[in-house]
Amino acid sequence: MNVIKGGVTAPKGFLANGMACGIKRSGKQDLGLIASQVPAKTAGVFTTNSVKAAPLLVSMEHIRKGVGRAVLVNSGNANCYTGPFGLRYARQSTRLIARLLGIKSTDVLVTSTGIIGKSFPYNKIASAAPALVRGLSPNGGLKFARAIMTTDLKLKEIAVRVKIGGKTVTIGACGKGSGMIEPNMATMLGFVTTDAAISSKMLKMALKKATDKSFNSITVDGCMSTNDMVTLQANGLAGNKTIAKDGVDFKKFYAALEFVCVDLARKIVLDGEGATKFLTINVLCAANPAQAKKIAKAVANSALVKTAAFGNNPNWGRVGAAVGSLGIKGITEGTMKISFSPFDKKNIAITVELNLGKARATVYTCDLSYGYVKINGAYN
């Protein structure tokens, strides 16, 4: 596997564009579109928040058939808590893009990110859509990545190539997210494209597994968003034999996909609002994987642990208290070993070793600084 330059348009047959349509008061880019030149197998994962933004409800309907062509994204307005009008505008957006691309509206996914509870500016999107579609380009990935940013300070994209069945397969991706990050799915969006030929069943399996290892293993502030979504589109243009079962080809594809997703997830944490430190929380010797991740998340979401990291203070008592707060039978101060890497470095590892079994989990997070409070105290 080789890391190459690019993002969502690195695989064959994918076009993208991004532009400003006036949603953001700053005048920055706020509307993006990815389109495959041919039908693409499509899978997605969505926030588990019971309050879901209107575009997610529409995308969850459209993705059921497992085939799609385009993803429309706006930033600056979440289209959440917008009632029946928000849902109507989300549907109209898919019909608009479908008409301009000459495809079915159910082949279009739509999502939004930004401020919750503001009226959705559909007219601005409708006015800009023709130019957005005309500007689709195999070099438009960077424009798309810029258009989906909100409080992000850095662009987040990656692409890799891997040989599968004698053919070169490319996976490209970009994402956004900086705060309100506590996935089970964060205001976090991820878009992954590939020219691999793979069945819908295996595509869904790969995305779910990769998401568990990446986007669902990060946290910035423990706050779950209403708008999280990750999509994976595969258009088959690499020409490899269709991956239809769990074999050598699937393992190669999955390894590359997990690498891409973990890279994006780490970039989201590194760009956490006000973040100055990157924390890796390792839990070892737990009774089962679910328990290990639950413990790692408890440590990662502890405001006391995160502020200690900001203050270069290796306070192991705060880690022990976070683990103990879960009330797991068999965990006491005598059965738990806590270790740290140096706390005065940018990258910090915290390891909790239990005596309950052989399971392990890793969760990524960042510190909690004055900057986080400043950013979120003024965000509206």
pLDDT (average), residues 183-197: 78
pLDDT of amino acid 129: 98
* Alpha-carbon span 221 to 132, nearest angstrom: 34
Fill in the DSSP letter of residue 216. G
| Residue 215 pLDDT exceeds 50 | yes
* Closest C-alpha among 147, 61, 138, 56 to residue 104: 61
* Alpha-carbon span 317 to 304, nearest angstrom: 10
pLDDT of amino acid 182: 47
Express each pLDDT in 59-76 by its tens digit: 999 999 999 999 999 999
Q: How far is CA 247 from CA 42, 161, 164, 243, 250, in A?
A: 21, 19, 11, 8, 5
* Alpha-carbon span 353 to 292, nearest angstrom: 10
* Closest C-alpha among 281, 269, 285, 261 to residue 353: 285
Point out the catalytic residue in the list 9, 47, 106, 187: 187
pLDDT (average), residues 224-233: 88
Paired tokens of 85: 């009008």
- The C-alpha R_g of the chain, in whole angstroms, comes to 21
Paired tokens of 56: 């997610």
pLDDT of amino acid 184: 45
List beta partners, residue 3. 160
| Residue 186 pLDDT exceeds 60 | no
Question: Would you state the CATH architecture of domain 2-270?
Answer: 4-Layer Sandwich (3.60)
pLDDT of amino acid 244: 97
pLDDT (average), residues 354-360: 95
pLDDT-based confidence at residue 375 (cuts at 50, 70, 90):
low
Torsion of CA 24, 29, 33, 37, to 10 degrees: 160
pLDDT of amino acid 376: 66
For residue 171, what is the enclosing H or E element?
Answer: strand 167-176
Q: Which residues contact 142 (CB under 8 A, 6 or more apart)?
A: 7, 18, 155, 157
CATH topology for 278-377?
Ubiquitin-like (UB roll) (3.10.20)
DSSP 101-137: HTS-GGGEEEEEEEETTSPP-HHHHHHHHHHHHHT-B
- With a pLDDT cut of 90, the percent of the chain lying above it is 80
| Residue 187 pLDDT exceeds 90 | no
pLDDT-based confidence at residue 378 (cuts at 50, 70, 90):
low
Please give the backbone phi and psi of residue 8, each rounded to the nearest 5 degrees, phi first: -70, -20
Tell me, yes or no, if 231 is annotated catalytic.
no
Say if residues 174 and 8 touch (Cβ distance below 8 Å). Answer: yes
Show me where the domains of the chain are located.
2-270, 278-377
Q: If you average pLDDT over every residue of the chain, what do you get? A: 92
